[in-house]
Structures are given as structure tokens and as C-alpha cells.
Amino acid sequence: MTRIRLNDTTLRDGSHAVRHQYTEEQVRRVVRALDDARVEMIEVTHGDGLGGSSFNYGFSRTHELDLIEAAVDEATHARIAVLLLPGVGTVEDLKEARERGASMVRVATHCTEADVSIQHFQAARAMDMETGGFLMLSHRASPTELARQARIMVDAGCQCVFVVDSSGYLIMEEAAERVRAVVEEVGADAQVGFHGHQNLGCGVANSVLAVRAGATQIDGTLYGLGAGAGNAPIEVLATVFDRLGIDIGDVDAAALQNAAEDVLRPMVDRLPMMDRGSIVQGQMGVYNSFLFHAERAAERYGLDAADILREVGRRGYVGGQEDMIIDVAVDLQRAASA
């Protein structure tokens, strides 16, 4: 069987769950634990990628470039990756991350807007960086359309295209069908990966089915730390893959279990869960990083966050439209008082 690479994004997607308040020492401790477990790729940035520290997305406690440099300093085995959303991060941001030692970038776009990533892939390849592409909210595109978008990324220099279930919406074959379509389109030229969330409890199962459909890179986080209901837990992924005989190289499942329980858990005040708000996100296909924004708006306007998220889903908002959540809350408050 083809060897699967488990990627860890605790220090990027997990940043949403801690409101982007990681310290340098926390990053060092997590990287050491993941590196000791022989994880090959560790992603480190603000939850919304390079340049994400802002009023709109939430300010980081520590500058992400300092966190990247600390991660590079601690890693003896793993590659340190960064995330970049065109329009949030820039090529200049990527150059600075490269200078700090990042050796991989994953460029993330909405699932139907892969064309905005072209210059970023070209720039990354010119910097001799490994490249991945994130097709976010992949449920919003059919398998055929997703494959077309993957081809755009690969032609621009992407080496692995990820089917990204940004809201935990996909259930079983819905995930597998998208991965299979992307593999059929670009599999001869690039790898295909899967990034799952737990909103409807399917993140791990979807990852298994993604592997069976041809994915060779799978994302997870320690303890499932991440936006919404959290990501597929990497320690569970490693354990399940071991049980199924899926080759994950030298990754040590027991060491990941220890890293989750002994290193990550004491750092976190609130772990993601499948609560009402995050379930609604999965049900309605709402971008997972919207959860805390909706909760703040609900508190401010005397509403239920789940009602805000349902309306956000009905309106079809995508990543980058966090500011529109206030408009939704105001409209719901007016309707309730009318």
C-alpha cells in the first residue's frame, strides 16, 4: 500500500481554538512533541494564514514569523509549513516566512477560485518550497468542478491538492467522491490530500475513505484542536491507520497520544466539541472559523449563535466574510423586535 503522510496543523488550524494566542514556548513544546513522534510536516501560522493577524480575523499574541522561526529551531525531522490565503497574505509575506526557515506553503482558496493562487504557487516554487493547495469548503463544488479547480492549481506548480472540508459538512462517500475525482484528474502529476473536520463526527472516517480513494496526505491536529468542532485528531488518525494496516511511515501513534494528553491538553482552556453551534456549521456548510465570531455577535445582540450560523449558511458566506456576521446579527435582532 502507498505510504500516507500525516500532516499536523495544531499550530495553525488549532490557533482558531485558542484565539491565536499561542506563545513561542508553547509552539516549541508542541513542535518538539510532534517531531519526536516523527510527524513529517507541521504547519505554523495564524489560523487564517500569513498576514491573518488583524481586526477582522483576530490579533495574534505573538508575531507569526517569530513562531515560525521558533518551530524551525525546534524541528529536527519535520518540515515547517505555512498557510497563505491570497488577499490575506502576500508573496512578500511568503518570502519573509521562507527567510525564517519555512520550507512548505499551502495556498488556500475557495473551492471555485483556484485561479487566484497561480502567482503564489509560482513564487513558492521559485523559492524552492514544497507546495500544497487547499480547495476550501469543497462541498460547495461538485466532484467534477473540484477536479477542474485542482488542475488549475497543479498547472501553476502545486504538488499536492487538498480536498478541504472546511465546515465538516461532507459525509462518507461525499468526501471520497471528491477525492477520487481529483485523483483521476491530477493524480499522474501531483498528490492529493484530505483535510477533515469533526462537526458531524465524520472527520476520521472521511480521512480513511479519502485514503481508499487515493489520497496520500492527510491532515490532523492534536486532540482535534481547531475551528468549529475541531479537526480530525491526529493521534486518532494514526491509531486507526495502524489498526487498518495503512502505512504511515515512522509516525508513532503512542507518542502522538502522549503529545495530545500531556503537552497540548494543559495549554488549552477550551477544547472544540460537537456543540449546537458547530453541528449547525456542519449541517449548513458554514466555514468553521466563523464560530467564535458568531458567539461574540450573539452575546452582543442577545441572540443564539446557532441562529446566526444558520442564517450565515442560508446566505452562503465564505471565508473572508467574517465581518458580515454582524450584519446577520443586526438583521435577526431587528426581525425579533419587529
- Per-residue pLDDT band for 104 (boundaries 50, 70, 90) equals very high
* Alpha helices, H only, the chain: 14-17, 24-36, 64-74, 91-99, 118-126, 143-156, 173-186, 203-212, 234-244, 253-258, 276-284, 290-301, 305-315, 324-337
Mean pLDDT (whole number) for 81-102: 96
Mean pLDDT (whole number) for 93-106: 97
Mean pLDDT (whole number) for 254-282: 94
Same domain (yes/no): 139, 50: yes
| CA 310/CA 306 separation, integer angstroms | 6
Q: Other CB atoms closer than 10 Å to residue 70's CB: what's the count?
A: 24
At which of 205, 233, 267 does a domain end?
267
Would you say residue 241 lies in a domain?
Answer: yes
Q: Is 13 annotated as a binding residue?
A: yes
Give me the number of domains the chain comprises. 2
Would you say residue 278 lies in a domain?
Answer: no
How far CA 65 is from CA of 9, 40, 146, 226, 240, in Å, comes to 16, 20, 32, 20, 34
Res 335 pLDDT > 70? yes
Mean pLDDT (whole number) for 210-215: 98
| CA 62/CA 11 separation, integer angstroms | 12
Of 58, 79, 69, nearest to 28 (Cα)? Answer: 69
pLDDT at 212: 97
pLDDT more than 70, % of the chain: 100
Res 270 pLDDT > 90? no
| Higher pLDDT pick, 332 / 206 | 206
Q: Is 12 annotated as a binding residue?
A: yes
Same domain (yes/no): 224, 308: no
| DSSP for 117-130, written as a single string | GHHHHHHHHHTT-E
pLDDT at 329: 87
At which of 213, 232, 267 does a domain end?
267
Q: Is 120 annotated as a binding residue?
A: no
Nearest 5 degrees, angle CA 46-CA 98-CA 49? 20
| Higher pLDDT pick, 329 / 236 | 236
Mean pLDDT (whole number) for 47-67: 88
Res 44 pLDDT > 90? yes
Range of 212's domain?
5-267
Of 56, 53, 46, nearest to 290 (Cα)? Answer: 56
Same domain (yes/no): 65, 106: yes
Same domain (yes/no): 259, 310: no
pLDDT at 289: 85
Of 107, 49, 104, nearest to 75 (Cα)? Answer: 104
Res 173 pLDDT > 80? yes
Same domain (yes/no): 206, 317: no
pLDDT at 334: 87
Residues annotated catalytic, as ranges: 16
Res 1 pLDDT > 70? no
> What value does the mean pLDDT of the chain take?
94
The structure's pTM equals: 0.93
Q: Which pLDDT tens digit goes with each residue over 213-233?
A: 999 999 999 999 998 999 999
Q: Is 247 annotated as a binding residue?
A: no
